[in-house]
Copies of this chain bind each other. A is one copy, B any other.
Amino acid sequence: MRLSPLHTQIAADIRAAIRTGRLDIGDPIPSEAQLAQQWQVSRAPVRQALATLRAEGLIGGGPGKPAVVRGRSLGQPFETFLSFSSWVSGLGLVPGQRTVEIARRRADATIADHLGIEPGDAVVEVLRLRTVDGEPAMVERSCFVDAVGRALFDFDCDSGSIYAFLITRGADLSSARHTIDAVVADPTDAALLGIDPGRPLLRERRLAGPAGGPPSEYSDDRYRPDLVTFTIDNAAASAPALSRHAVPELI
């Protein structure tokens, strides 16, 4: 008769306490032993709930010390990293996009694994060229699970931010993991970006979706490294801040 796992309920309860202010920032949360007694459960589900909240950045704390409420927001920071459009606009430049292809097709094994669906399930893929002041800067290959992506067939992908549109349609893309590496430009990349095949590109792969849930989007974005770089400011013992930079020549 249990609708959801205990650790999920416990985590949700603490999240609610933080959001409503019943637990304020800086407050210590009840000890694991206390929570276990309140819920009449063992420590295991309590610990799993706290591990989730820790991964979400909501609570902090170390060994020997009680866990402490660290923050209240769940999605807004780093939002600039989620949307190319808003990032470029924020620099006072003009973002643009040319949609090369939008298609519904069946997921291959790689995509299915990343999105946590079955190979053969329907996905919506969008291939777009993103520009800054009209200059090609990035090739975006986004792949959405069908439930989220099908709304894109009602949307003019040349008109602006896909993210902004999908959010108005109720999609939750508040959480993401970005993996950054380098690849060579394939013929498609080269043609779209106006560079020679074989040139190095800065690649950002992104898994986005609701916090704690299965991802709704897998994306492979390839930037011209002479136009866009990523920077991190890192002070020891404090959280790093990440941003995306355009190189000066462009500004």
Residues on A lying within 8 angstroms of B by beta carbon are: 26, 55-58, 60, 62, 68, 70-71, 73-75, 77-82, 90-92, 109, 113-114, 116, 174-184, 198-203, 211-212, 225, 229-248, 250-251
Contacts and interface: CB of A to CB of B under 8 A. Distances in A.
A56 B239 CA distance: 12
A80 B238 contact: no
Given A78-B242, A241-B241, A247-B251, 16 more contacts: A56-B236, A60-B114, A68-B113, A77-B237, A78-B240, A82-B236, A92-B246, A174-B236, A174-B237, A175-B235, A177-B231, A178-B232, A181-B202, A181-B230, A198-B198, A246-B251
Tell me the interface secondary structure of chain A in the complex: mixed
A229 B200 contact: no
B80 A244 contact: yes
A83 to B, nearest CB: 10
Contact of A236 (B57, B198, B202): B57
Given A182-B201, A248-B248, A251-B229, A243 B243 contact: yes
A240 B242 contact: no
A251 B243 CA distance: 14
A172 B144 CA distance: 46
B243 A233 contact: yes
Contacts of A230: 179-181
A242 B239 contact: no
A174 B235 contact: yes
Name the residue among A55, A175, A201, A242 with the largest chain B CB count within 10 angstroms: A242
B243 A245 contact: yes
A235 B55 contact: yes
A183 B211 contact: no
Nearest to A92: B246
A105 to B, nearest CB: 21
30 contacts: A26-B109, A55-B55, A55-B235, A60-B113, A70-B113, A70-B238, A71-B236, A71-B239, A73-B239, A77-B240, A78-B242, A79-B239, A80-B242, A91-B244, A174-B235, A174-B236, A177-B232, A177-B235, A181-B229, A182-B182, A182-B225, A229-B251, A233-B243, A237-B239, A240-B241, A241-B242, A245-B248, A245-B251, A246-B251, A247-B248
Closest 9 CB pairs of A and B: A200-B200, A182-B182, A78-B234, A174-B236, A181-B225, A56-B236, A182-B200, A175-B235, A180-B230
